[in-house]
A and B are shown apart, each in its own frame.
Chain A
Amino acid sequence: MMTLKLRPLVGVFAENKDKAREIRLHKIVPALAKGQEVTLDFAGIDSATQSFVHALISDLIRTYGCEVLDKLYFQNCTETVKKIIAIVVDYMQEG
């Protein structure tokens, strides 16, 4: 299991899509490729944009299918962050 603390990488308001993409490509994807489970730790992050969360996880769902959600965990999320993650997860499974 790999736990990734996002606050030092993206700040209190997670909105930088370039950073999100970097994290996905250079941290999450390699861990998943090794068969590891990944926990994204949002401790210290007040809020996020849908664009940030989309850039962080949408391509994982598209590439690996919704089964990737069995290996991906989100922790220490505020209500707003939880809501935005749930929205992106929902619409990626609609698409």
Chain B
Amino acid sequence: MRLHLPNSAFLGNIDPFLLSFSPSYPARLTLTANKKWISIHPAVLSLVAALGLTVKPTRISCEKLEATSKHYLQRMGLFKLLRIPSGITIKEHEPAGRFIPLTRITNSGQLSRFITEMIPLLHLEPRQATPIKYVVSELVRNVLEHAQAEHGAIVSAQYYTKSNTIRIGIADTGVGIKATITQSYPASTHLEAIRLALTPGITGTTRREGGTEFNAGAGLFVIKSIAKVSRDFFLIYSGNALYKALKNPATKQVQLYADPFRDRHSAREDLPFWPGTVVGIDITVDNTPEFTSLLDSIWDVYIKTIRERKKERYRRAQFR
């Protein structure tokens, strides 16, 4: 397998990075990087780490990094997680850094501890922290419950001062969305599976409205909606498919849709096969309204969708 860390890969311009990923020869991983500057979204970092964990450390070949920003990879814990030497020394830890280094989460208790510990690292006020905690909890629990990922969920996040944005990335190398969703709903492609997974009330665990005792099919819809209301990017990559909810212009009123294809988005199904799921999300801290009013808008759509789907299944009276 081969991954090249480019000069820049954020959710808006991530496609060339994903297209350059080569999944062939899965027992080996070669990492190369831009020689001058590497600036990447935590989703890219989590993806690299998740893939690296599927390979023995001795089978990872990482070229000597030359980019001025190479310390970022060290600081985010990439080499430590992959147990490979970096050849990079950090003399002084940046005290004002607001980031969550790459963390591997494999069980429920670890996730609860991680959520408690991550907010002080990001220096967020309680009001700002709630949607972030919500997003991380729901996404990681999805991995723990559905992905059957041997290496768990790989999470990282970073606060970007200039845009006042928290960027979060979560990756796994589990079974992927299609394998999960098709346990209950037909989906012939990875993109169709992603579309179903983002639709309110749909879960791979049951076809029953209201879900099971454990799942209601709401998590990804809520997360996509949080990104949409804060007018930010949201991305899912699974199998050969990518769905990306695009930023909404500040001049337009935000409307939530049950069908993710009605949102302003881009989608493609020509990417190298990703064995699992990668999610990236940006949340501009001050664009997120009060969490309770956000929940109102989200659940109006959720309940309306459930009601309409239930109505579709009504039997009609037969008159002779």
Chain A residues in the interface with B (C-beta under 8 A): 11-13, 15-19, 21, 46-47, 49-51, 54-55, 58-59, 62, 79-80, 83-84, 87-88, 90-92, 94-95
Once the chains are docked, how many angstroms separate the CA of A79 from the CA of B126? 14
Tell whether, in the assembled complex, residue A51 and residue B138 are in contact, meaning their CB atoms are under 8 Å apart: yes
Q: 10 A-B Cβ contacts within 8 A? A: A11-B112, A11-B116, A16-B112, A17-B141, A51-B141, A55-B213, A58-B216, A83-B292, A94-B303, A95-B208
Name the CB-closest residue of B to A25.
B213
Contact partner, A46, options B130, B141, B216, B218, Cβ 8 Å = B130
- Chain B contact-residue range equals 20 to 34
Query: Which residues of the other chain, B, contact A90 by a CB distance below 8 angstroms?
Result: 299, 303
B72 within 8 Å of A by Cβ?
A: no
Tell me the minimal C-beta distance from B294 to chain A in angstroms.
10
B133 within 8 Å of A by Cβ?
A: yes
Tell whether, in the assembled complex, residue A15 and residue B115 are in contact, meaning their CB atoms are under 8 Å apart: yes
Tell me the minimal C-beta distance from B115 to chain A in angstroms.
6
Given A17-B141, A62-B210, list of 4 further CB < 8 A pairs? A16-B112, A17-B214, A49-B137, A95-B211
Contact partner, A13, options B133, B209, B302, B307, Cβ 8 Å = B133
Query: Which residues of the other chain, B, contact A87 by a CB distance below 8 angstroms?
Result: 295, 299, 302-303
Tell me the minimal C-beta distance from B184 to chain A in angstroms.
15
Tell whether, in the assembled complex, residue B209 and residue A55 are in contact, meaning their CB atoms are under 8 Å apart: no
Query: Which residues of the other chain, B, contact A11 by a CB distance below 8 angstroms?
Result: 112, 116
B63 within 8 Å of A by Cβ?
A: no
Query: Which residues of the other chain, B, contact A79 by a CB distance below 8 angstroms?
Result: 292
Query: Which residues of the other chain, B, contact A88 by a CB distance below 8 angstroms?
Result: 216
